[in-house]
DNA sequence: GATCCGTGGAC
DNA sequence: TGTCCAAGGAT
């Protein structure tokens, strides 16, 4: 592994003992970052000492590709409504999708519901504590399994998310961004950086993640407030620009946009929405998106305002039905009951 | 490994 | 204004 940052940390912290890549340098890195975390960590409800493993699991799923500020109110509502996995498991999956609100990627709500059912039926209602058991739950991948095992159960896990990848890339490799996809070498490096002590490793994981979220951000990083800027290979190299341009996600005119608009209509509706009402806007409204939004209340107007081709509407709905995000009921379409 | 899957805020 | 990005997972 590249232990340059550990060496640099040591060189900056105790210039009289310049042992490159030493255990001492790594220890110093741990101390600096975790001390910063103690001082700067945001107060988040899922970090409270009395937060349940279920609360932490829910937070991790909600936080997949979704900013903290948008998760907060929905997380609070969920934990109040469904304080344990069994509470959620007792509801139809559509309830999870409905109360997911506008967090995005509603299939996560479906998977979280499925996870609650699995926890209730196969784990006695208790969130499993090991990485392997967590990994069997729907919607739980390598990152989430490690995060829950670490943050809910105090285990020593190699946690690697987008924040940690970016911090490591800058600190050790000197590049602005990590590789497009997670590599085995990154996982190996992250594992080698993990403190031996379980308690400290949990702290380290949380601290590096937080550093990436609030200091070592993708755009406009605040290196002036970074506890390890003087050990950072990227800073030392003069903060070079990214070597590649991340592939942007197209949105306008995509099936994803149409799927989102359809689910928004279903979420807004108590019962089944007639297929015709959902998919066929009156001809005059189809010609004028603004008129459609005005004439139809809420999400339905927004859907018709897209003026998506009938073929695309059919395809999007078929996809939602196949994914279990919608179902046919009484001649209409509704969230899965 | 490349694609698909939502949403809204920041610049 | 359009682009980029946010504690990924499944296929």
Q: Where are the alpha helices (DSSP H) in A194-309?
A: 198-214, 233-236, 255-268, 275-279, 283-287, 289-295, 298-305
- Between residues A282 and A75, which one has the greater pLDDT? A75
Name the residue closest to C3, CA to C1'.
A248
Q: How far is A282 from A130, CA to CA, in rounded Å?
A: 54
Identify whether A126 is a catalytic site residue.
Answer: no
**Strand C positions within 7 A of protein Cβ atoms:** 3-10
Q: Is the pLDDT of residue A284 over 80?
A: no
Give CA–CA dist A334/A269, Å, rounded. Answer: 8
CA distance A276 to A313: 11
Q: Could you say which of A10, A39, A48, A60 is catalytic?
A: A60
In this prediction, residue A20 carries a pLDDT of: 38
3-state DSSP assignment of residue A255:
helix
Q: How long is the CA A143 to C1' B7 vector, in angstroms?
A: 22
Instruction: Determine the pLDDT at residue A283.
Output: 63
Q: Over 50: is that where the pLDDT of A13 sits?
A: no
Whether the CB of A217 is less than 7 Å away from nucleic strand B comes out as no
* A45, A76 contact by CB (below 8 A): yes
Which pLDDT score is estimated for A289? 59
A49 touches strand B (CB under 7 A): no
Query: Which pLDDT tens digit goes with each residue over A196-212?
Result: 999 999 999 999 999 99
Is pLDDT at A12 greater than 90 in this prediction? no
- A142-188 residue pLDDT tens: 999 999 999 999 999 999 999 999 999 999 999 999 999 999 999 99
Beta-bridged to residue A327, according to DSSP, are A334
pLDDT (0 to 100) of residue A290: 64
The CA–C1' separation of A139 and C9, in angstroms, is: 6
pLDDT tens digits, one per residue of A291-321: 655 667 789 999 998 999 999 999 999 999 9
- Greatest Cα pair distance, chain A, in angstroms, is 80
A70 CB-to-strand B distance under 7 Å: yes
Which tokens belong to A236? 């030392």
Quickly list DSSP for A102-152.
TSS-THHHHHHHHHHHHHHHHSTTS---SHHHHHTSTT--HHHHHHHHHHH
What's the token pair of residue A305?
A: 């305002």
| DSSP-based helix, strand, coil % in chain A, nearest 5 | 60, 0, 40
Whether A163 contacts A205, CB under 8 Å: no
The mean pLDDT value of chain A amounts to 91
Q: Is the CB of A279 under 7 A from strand B?
A: no
Percent of chain A with pLDDT over 70: 89
Mean pLDDT confidence for A269-289: 78
Q: Which residues pair with A103 in a beta bridge?
A: none
């Amino acid at each position: 592994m590249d232990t340059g940052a550990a060496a640099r940390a040591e060189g900056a912290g105790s210039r009289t003992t310049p042992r490159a890549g030493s255990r001492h340098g790594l220890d110093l890195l741990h101390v600096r970052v975790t001390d910063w975390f103690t001082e700067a960590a945001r107060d988040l409800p899922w970090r409270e000492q009395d937060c349940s493993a279920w609360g932490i699991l829910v937070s991790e799923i909600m936080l997949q590709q979704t900013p903290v500020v948008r998760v907060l109110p929905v997380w609070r509502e969920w934990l109040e409504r469904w304080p344990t996995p069994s509470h959620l498991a007792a509801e139809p999956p559509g309830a999870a999708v409905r109360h997911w609100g506008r967090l995005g990627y509603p299939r996560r709500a479906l998977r979280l519901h499925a996870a609650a059912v699995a926890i209730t039926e196969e784990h006695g209602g208790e969130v499993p504590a090991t990485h392997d058991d967590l990994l069997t739950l729907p919607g739980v991948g390598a990152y989430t399994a490690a995060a829950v095992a670490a943050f809910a159960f105090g285990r020593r896990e190699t946690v690697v998310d987008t924040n940690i990848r970016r911090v490591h890339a800058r600190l050790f490799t000197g590049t602005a961004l990590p590789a497009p996809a997670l590599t085995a070498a990154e996982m190996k490096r992250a594992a080698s950086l993990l403190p031996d002590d379980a308690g400290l490793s949990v702290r380290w994981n949380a601290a590096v993640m937080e550093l990436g979220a609030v200091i070592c951000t993708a755009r406009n990083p605040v290196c002036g407030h970074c506890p390890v800027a003087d050990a950072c290979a990227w800073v030392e190299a003069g903060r070079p620009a990214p070597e590649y341009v991340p592939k942007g996600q197209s949105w306008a005119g995509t099936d994803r946009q149409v799927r989102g608009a359809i689910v928004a209509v279903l979420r807004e509706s108590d019962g089944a929405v007639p297929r015709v009402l959902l998919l066929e806007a009156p001809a005059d409204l189809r010609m004028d998106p603004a008129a459609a939004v005005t004439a139809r209340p809420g999400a339905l107007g927004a859907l018709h305002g897209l003026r998506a081709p009938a073929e695309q509407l059919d395809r999007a709905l078929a996809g939602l039905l196949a994914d279990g995000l919608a179902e046919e009921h009484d001649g209409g379409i509704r969230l899965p009951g």
